Amino acid sequence: MLKIDNLQVDLGVDAGLVRAIDGLRLSIERGETFALVGESGCGKSMTALALMRLLPENGWVAGGDIHIGQGRDAVDVLGLPESQMRGVRGGRIGMIFQEPATSLNPVMKIGRQIVEAIEAHTPLRGAAARAKAIDWLARAGIPEPERRIDEYPFRMSGGQKQRVMIAIALSAEPDFLIADEPTTALDVTIQAQILDLLRDLQREQRMGMLLITHDLAVVSGMAHRVALMYAGQIIEVAPADEFFAAPRHPYARALLRALPGTHRRDSPLEAIAGTVPALTQAFTGCRFAPRCGQAMAVCAGTVPALESVSPRHDVRCLLYSGGARPAAPVHVPAGSATACAPRGERPAGPLLDVQGLRVRFPIRGGLMQRVKGHFDAVDGVSFQVGHGETLALVGESGCGKTTTGKAIVQLLRRQAAIEGRALLQGRDLFEMQGTELLAARRQVQIIFQDPFASLNPHMRVSDILDEGLAALQPDLTGADRLARIERLTDQVGLRRDALGRYPHEFSGGQRQRIAIARALAVQPQLIICDEPTSALDVSVQAQILNLLRELQRELGVSLLFITHNIGVVEYIADRVAVMRAGRIEEQGACEDVLERPTREYTRTLLAAVPRLQVA
């Protein structure tokens, strides 16, 4: 269905020429799901953009071929004029983009955006196209699609915007689908629905799919074959069952050992040291060697080739240059919640005490947009977060988790009516004004779900990280602030040269690391983490989770951890609160909620969690 041969993609940046993709070769058959995994910045999304001919202005294809289809239907993607490529893009090849907030047109209603794709690539028009759009919204899991079709993207949560992107990509029923992190912003129940939908479409249409994701559990349940990328190259490709049962490359084995879960709760995760190397250099040896625990002297001066170690299993590693060596299986426990280990002693009393929180948004309508009613996004929520404790807030997209976090840090005062109390060490955050509120902001920080929308595009990374320090800790000297910024850059897995760059120059996962560093910079007592690891690959996720655990031990930092990743909850949470439709459905100690849930909704959530399937 799709064949890529020796693809090379270059980017022109201030630092020089970046070889973002170097000699990529892969083929995907009709009806096959081919997963592309690897660290943020390794070239996964750039591969997808090259296939769609949507490279950034500073990027170009420097060599190679891309063909889609077979026989007389085969198309040379790189040889088509743009007028014909528009028919292929969206019609024969659909794409689900990684960041829905930046991919959806903010001034067009979501229905118009779906209808636009339907009318461009199918015979349907007018009312028929709108009916088809409503059907796709429903199939993608949007509640009340007949009403939501006339809303703008900003009225939807991050997960709901992702579902709209999925509906747009699938509405023309393409032959081939590129899914770039299609379930990153989705809760586990909707993720299960979307993955089932993609499987059904593959069976019905024999649709080929390139699945780009960092969620290895999703890969193990969806993919027929897996390719692992590193620094612009594929370093291992194998059938999915063989890849997870006996990965050969040291990088692949390290990734599996970095997965969080209850089984690793008592010890730090095995994070991979260092970062992906800069791709502006000419490599003379193995690109992974500086981070590899099995590196040999020859690795620094010999470029490894992609060699076959068994039928359909290729590895780019000098450990196998003399013939395939047996690899012991990597034992990955199933991840069921067995016991959440208690932490050490903490100060008595809660750090944060939320009492009866209600957040009401006005519903406007008519020509003058007058208020016609109110919508209770959060309806009487109460919980506590202790000193040095992690409370995980889980639930489906749109249930009010993010709204709860934003209300606590006073970011919704002008958009919504807020009732209840949020006591930070006995002081009500909702009553604070002026300098008192400014002082409280140093104690409470938030990591936003969408890193692109929360980072100022006109500021360099160094200025973004320095801004909060200068405002909230004016006693620090410029040298002290710079030293802390550089230390944070190392801690979140970014190279020092990132400080001089702008947010648009980074991948989605790298931008999330910047957002995490910004929240950590002022050393707060409480961090509200809104899906902080959803855009991160597992190796960087391990670094961040280890960092948060270390901060808890050293500084007693408390976390309100909003997430849909149950594996992360099992690893980091002391207590869990399950939200549904603006209310707390169930809360309690980690082991009680995950092992012995009392509510059917909680049991449904846990049943939908994908588990890594290994032999």
Enumerate residues 6+ apart whose C-beta is below 8 A from 57. none
- Domain presence at residue 391: yes
More confident residue, 242 or 206: 242
- Domain presence at residue 345: no
Please give the Cα distance from 88 to 77 (Å, whole number).
8
Model pLDDT, residue 340: 52
Model pLDDT, residue 334: 44
CATH number of the structural domain spanning residue 128: 3.40.50.300
Residues 421 and 274 in one domain: no
The last residue of one of the domains, among 320, 336, 361, is 320
Model pLDDT, residue 338: 39
- Domain presence at residue 113: yes
- Domain presence at residue 255: yes
Residues 299 and 370 in one domain: no
C-beta neighbour count of 475 within 10 angstroms: 5
3-state secondary structure of 206: coil
Residue 291 is part of which domain span? 250-320
Residues 295 and 377 in one domain: no
Q: Is 198 left (phi over 0), alpha (psi -120 to 50) or beta?
A: alpha
The last residue of one of the domains, among 223, 242, 265, is 223
Q: Is the pLDDT of residue 91 over 60?
A: yes
Please give the Cα distance from 370 to 513 (Å, whole number).
41
Enumerate residues 6+ apart whose C-beta is below 8 A from 475. none
Residues 384 and 510 in one domain: yes
Model pLDDT, residue 325: 53
Alpha-carbon dihedral 331, 336, 313, 542, rounded to 10 degrees: -80
pLDDT level of residue 53 (50, 70, 90 thresholds): very high
Q: Is the pLDDT of residue 441 over 90?
A: no
- Domain presence at residue 614: no
Which secondary-structure segment (H or E) carries 572? Answer: helix 566-572
Q: Is 550 left (phi over 0), alpha (psi -120 to 50) or beta?
A: alpha
Mean pLDDT of 230-243: 94
Model pLDDT, residue 459: 94
Confirm if 489 and 499 have CB atoms less than 8 A apart.
yes
Write out pLDDT tens, residues 542-568.
877 887 888 788 778 899 999 878 888
Write out pLDDT tens, residues 251-266.
999 888 888 866 666 6
Cβ-in-10-Å burial (0-12, 13-18, 19+) of 358 comes to middle
Model pLDDT, residue 233: 94
Write out pLDDT tens, residues 575-594.
999 999 899 999 999 989 99
Write out pLDDT tens, residues 360-411.
998 877 777 787 878 889 999 999 999 999 999 998 877 899 999 999 998 9
Residues 363 and 505 in one domain: yes
- Domain presence at residue 242: no
Residues 146 and 195 in one domain: yes
Please give the Cα distance from 540 to 528 (Å, whole number).
19
Confirm if 303 and 286 have CB atoms less than 8 A apart.
yes
Cβ-in-10-Å burial (0-12, 13-18, 19+) of 279 comes to buried
C-beta neighbour count of 542 within 10 angstroms: 26
Model pLDDT, residue 263: 63
Residues 294 and 168 in one domain: no
Confirm if 48 and 55 have CB atoms less than 8 A apart.
no
In the block, which residue shows the tokens 């899914």? 179
Residues 273 and 407 in one domain: no
Confirm if 165 and 97 have CB atoms less than 8 A apart.
yes
* Residue 266 φ/ψ, nearest 5 degrees: -85, 0
Write out pLDDT tens, residues 442-464.
899 999 877 778 899 999 999 99
In the block, which residue shows the tokens 């949560």? 157
Q: How far is CA 227 from the centre of its chain?
A: 19
Residues 371 and 436 in one domain: yes
More confident residue, 32 or 70: 32
Residues 78 and 148 in one domain: yes
The pair of structure tokens assigned to 604 is: 């449904």
| Three-class HEC string of 486-507 | HHHHHHCCCCHHHHHCCHHHCC
Q: Is the pLDDT of residue 525 over 80?
A: yes
Q: Is the pLDDT of residue 279 over 70?
A: yes
Confirm if 77 and 66 have CB atoms less than 8 A apart.
yes
More confident residue, 164 or 331: 164
DSSP letters for 364-423: EETTTTEEEEEEEEEEEEEEEEETT-EEEEEE-TTSSHHHHHHHHTT--TTTSEEEEEEE
Cβ-in-10-Å burial (0-12, 13-18, 19+) of 224 comes to middle
∠465-470-473 over CA atoms, to 5°?
110
Q: Is the pLDDT of residue 342 over 60?
A: no
Residues 204 and 257 in one domain: no
Residues 194 and 271 in one domain: no
Write out pLDDT tens, residues 411-429.
998 888 999 999 999 899 9
Write out pLDDT tens, residues 100-155.
778 899 999 999 999 999 999 999 999 999 999 999 999 888 889 999 999 999 88
Count of domains for the chain: 3
Model pLDDT, residue 137: 92
Enumerate residues 6+ apart whose C-beta is below 8 A from 348. none
Model pLDDT, residue 341: 46
C-beta neighbour count of 206 within 10 angstroms: 13
